[in-house]
Amino acid sequence: MYPRNFLWLTAATCSASWLPQHPLSPFNSHRTPALEVPTAAPLPLLVWHGLGDNYKADGLRSIGDLADATNPGTFTYFIRVDDDASADRTATFLGNVSEQILKVCDDIAAHPILSLSPAVNGLGFSQGGQFLRAYIERCNKPPVSTLVTFGSQHNGISEFQKCSQNDWLCQSWESFLKSNTWTTFAQSRLVPAQYYRDPEDIESYLKNSNFLADINNERQKKNDTYRQNMKKLRRFAMYMFSEDVTVVPKETAYFSEVNTTSNEVTKLQDRQIYKEDWIGLRSLDEAKRLDFRVAEGGHMQLSKELLIETFKEYFAPNLDSSFK
């Protein structure tokens, strides 16, 4: 049985004003070899949108148009959890993330074009970034050559969105989520809860997290497949928005950890996930295949110029895409 608050929580997803991520606007050790994909044509591009967006949104489609204009011949696949755009949008807030990723894995593996490609590239916006990373770790068929993420919550969020003073609906949602974060219901139904991570309460996180603790390989028993699949990436570029106040902390885009009391930032390279190479990040970094980039502005404020620059650098066809 669903909690009493479930019905208004469902209705709340129809209001974009309180969503913690914003839809895109239309434009005018042992070293695993990098994936080698000799090709004169651009690889297909997987795009996973953020919370509150849907795979048919005009802003997202303009990203695909820009990718093709920058690298002619690019086939872009917009990842969706449901073919109905409204249901796909709702699924960005309500649903079991692990089940959603499994469906995406099956859909991509069965796609008539993607399934025949030797590899694909990946572009993740906000929460879509860590979801694409989960695809790589858990499935990777076809394998991802280069992954680029913008403002993603790779190390989770330590705060849910702050509500405006007069937004009672948002305030009710926030109160419910804060007090029920580690319940089975929240960890299997409320998407943001599944990548919530409070550095001051790691014990509860490791015990109850349905998604993030697993894909970050933070529990005692490690999944080596996750590490090996990530080490196969040709490049992994992580963009952090310089003025991001939507995602807290913004440094999560780099896998950094921020103390919620002192605001002290522990960089990725100083954390155990890096030192012990739990998901292959140290291996990528040592091979110069891990990039830390900055996107100026607030969360998901993307310029056409930055996207073109990104598409040229990371997704352009290359006859010798291997890293020596």
pLDDT of 181 reads: 94
pLDDT of 16 reads: 38
pLDDT of 14 reads: 41
Model confidence, pTM: 0.87
pLDDT of 33 reads: 61
Q: Tens of pLDDT along 273-307?
A: 999 999 999 999 999 999 999 999 999 999 999 99
pLDDT of 291 reads: 98
Q: Single out the catalytic residue among 22, 49, 53, 126.
A: 126
Instruction: Determine the Cα–Cα distance for residues 304 and 212; give it in Å rounded to an integer.
Output: 31
pLDDT of 212 reads: 98
230 touches 279 (CB < 8 A): yes
Q: In which residue are the tokens 């894909």 written?
A: 215
pLDDT of 26 reads: 62
Taking residue 171's Cβ as centre, other Cβ atoms within 10 Å add up to 15
pLDDT of 17 reads: 37
- Catalytic (active site) residue 299: yes
Q: Single out the catalytic residue among 256, 283, 299, 321.
A: 299
pLDDT of 5 reads: 45
pLDDT of 7 reads: 36
Low-confidence ranges of the chain (pLDDT < 70): 1-39, 162-164, 167, 169-170, 319-324
pLDDT of 202 reads: 96
Longest dimension (CA), the chain: 57
Q: Single out the catalytic residue among 53, 88, 214, 244.
A: 244
